Structure 1
Amino acid sequence: LSVTMYRQRQQDHRRTLGVLLLLNEILRGAPVPPITLAAVAAQVAVFLEMIPFLSSRYTQSLCLLPNRIMKRKEWIRLFAPLIMHADDMHLYYNMVSFIWKGRRLEPLLGPIRYALTLLSLAAASAVITVGVSSLLDDFVPGSNYSSQCAVGFSGVIFALKVLSSTYTPEDVWLMGWLPVPSRYACWAELILIQVLSPNASFVGHLAGILAGLLYTMGPLRWIVDGVASIVEGFIGGGGRGREDRDQRQRGYDSASAAPFEGGRTWGEERGGREGYERYTGGLSEEEQIRRAMDESIRQRRQPNYGWNYE
């Protein structure tokens, strides 16, 4: 075996470690709802280069680069990079966080509405990233955000965190040892990630939060509700779909109106808490990610895969 071939195998093994850890997390954890699982599978397929035109060799030509989108109208850059990742651990940690949010939100919204919500948040976060980058370049001296290339699902994940915080306003999130009220968790995480990882896309994460606020404050949610009504009626949801939608709307409004009054959310009133417990095993996002990180460290220490890490 030549040195070149050996190094190539080492690189291939390292490239798939995050995928193996993610698969392990899915198989040994609570059930993953179908739309969430399909979204994860699609992103894993892209990372493993099962979709040729989205392979890693095209990352530079497909990444979300605001100045190319605005000047050359390269619209594919708005959407393709959202399901592409820089490396296996980038994919792994994003998907662990996404799975937790999907386990919480998909049973509450239902698969059709959740799928439409993901699409709307993806589009909104990408467009907002371009707009915010342009504004910052205009008003912040020396900034060059429009020339920063980004890939990853983090913007959508931040948007989902806003939704999760709205539907479960009584939650308290732990940022390490510091308890943070659910309402402010996404902002605290935005700052924390930027401190710990300066190369992270600050604008992309901020755009995700703003997209989440567009949904929770009305505009995006109204669009999703309208399209969901049509789809549910077309596939035979009929009156039941309208009834569910009305119940969700009442629960959403009550959760938004009294974020810290300790009242039950829509999910708890309609048995959603049982569904949430079934999908999450009762673990918070931080607990699940911490467990995944512990498993990652444990797996890295084992020689089962036949390679070592420095």
Structure 2
Amino acid sequence: MPITLLIILAATCIVSFMAFSNRRLIDDLILWPPAIERKREYYRLVTYGLIHADGMHLLFNMITLYFAGTQMEPFYNQSLGAFGFGLFYLGGLIVSILPTYLKNRHNNNYRSLGASGAVSAVLFGFITLSPWTRILVLFVQMPAIIYAVLYVGYSIYMDRQARDSVNHSAHLWGAAYGVVFTMLVNPMVLPHFLDALSQPRM
């Protein structure tokens, strides 16, 4: 039973639903760089991941987190102990948002919310272990590694265009963190990944 994953899912859903109708709660938890820079409210580097823009934003993140997380929690717990997955997820929240925070630390108008960066970390950790597993993306099945390539390419393009309000940078940094952390936790992951890539299963 993925206990830590269920706790994360429950906490994120509960806080997000509360925040949908409570603007004060959003303001208290959202990543607003000046609050960290001036007031030392470092907790925002984590709490921004507990709130979401709307129901679809929350649903997409939680579905992805559940299916990837059920596979990854045993892996991290076996390597790092009972709280391994929780530590990994917490690290994903912080690492994925740090570049955004540093870039916008004096920007009064910038805000960011949502668990997408940490969810990307979990998903890409899973892809590192099972690159040819077929996953469902917008009702289309494809190998996870193909999705990863498309996802990274799209995120890089959109991050450079800066045409929407999505934090594509957090997606990219979260994905990179997930891959690197997973390979560092278990030195056998890299040769396993390379061997799996050499044996495509389309």
Mark yes or no: TM-score above 0.5: yes
> Counterpart in 2 of 1:72?
39
> Counterpart in 2 of 1:161?
123
Matches within 5 A, 1:143-154: 147-154=109-116
> Counterpart in 1 of 2:190?
256
> Counterpart in 2 of 1:91?
58
Q: 1:131 and 2:93 equivalent?
A: no
- Mark the CA change 1:87 to 1:165 in structure 2 (over 3 Å): closer, same or farther: same
Root mean square deviation of aligned Cα: 3.7
Do the aligned residues in 2 keep the contact of 1:79 with 1:122 (CA within 8 Å)?
Answer: yes
Do the aligned residues in 1 keep the contact of 2:48 with 2:112 (CA within 8 Å)?
Answer: yes
Aligned residues: 189
Do the aligned residues in 1 keep the contact of 2:71 with 2:126 (CA within 8 Å)?
Answer: yes
Counterpart AA for 1:126: I
Do the aligned residues in 2 keep the contact of 1:128 with 1:207 (CA within 8 Å)?
Answer: yes
Matches within 5 A, 1:1-310: 33-49=2-18, 55-110=22-77, 113=81, 115-135=83-103, 147-171=109-133, 182=145, 185-192=147-154, 198-218=164-184, 221=185, 252-262=186-196
* Gaps in structure 2 of 5+ consecutive residues: 198-202
Larger radius of gyration: 1
> Once the 2 structures are TM-superposed, how far is the Cα of residue 33 of structure 1 from its aligned partner?
2.8
CA distance, structure 2, for counterparts of residue 175 and residue 48 of structure 1: 25
- Mark the CA change 1:40 to 1:172 in structure 2 (over 3 Å): closer, same or farther: closer
> Once the 2 structures are TM-superposed, how far is the Cα of residue 165 of structure 1 from its aligned partner?
1.4
> Once the 2 structures are TM-superposed, how far is the Cα of residue 89 of structure 1 from its aligned partner?
1.8
CA distance, structure 1, for counterparts of residue 5 and residue 177 of structure 2: 19
Counterpart AA for 1:36: L
Do the aligned residues in 1 keep the contact of 2:49 with 2:93 (CA within 8 Å)?
Answer: no
Q: SS of the residue aligned with 1:199?
A: coil
Q: SS of the residue aligned with 1:117?
A: helix
> Once the 2 structures are TM-superposed, how far is the Cα of residue 69 of structure 1 from its aligned partner?
1.9
- Mark the CA change 1:179 to 1:43 in structure 2 (over 3 Å): closer, same or farther: closer
CA distance, structure 1, for counterparts of residue 97 and residue 3 of structure 2: 28
CA distance, structure 1, for counterparts of residue 54 and residue 187 of structure 2: 40
Q: SS of the residue aligned with 2:195?
A: coil
Q: SS of the residue aligned with 2:164?
A: coil
> Once the 2 structures are TM-superposed, how far is the Cα of residue 87 of structure 1 from its aligned partner?
1.6
* Gaps in structure 1 of 5+ consecutive residues: 1-31, 139-143, 222-251, 264-310
CA distance, structure 2, for counterparts of residue 155 and residue 120 of structure 1: 12
Do the aligned residues in 2 keep the contact of 1:129 with 1:204 (CA within 8 Å)?
Answer: yes
- Mark the CA change 1:124 to 1:157 in structure 2 (over 3 Å): closer, same or farther: closer
CA distance, structure 1, for counterparts of residue 196 and residue 91 of structure 2: 33
What's the % identity of the aligned pairs? 21
> Once the 2 structures are TM-superposed, how far is the Cα of residue 158 of structure 1 from its aligned partner?
0.4
Counterpart AA for 2:120: F
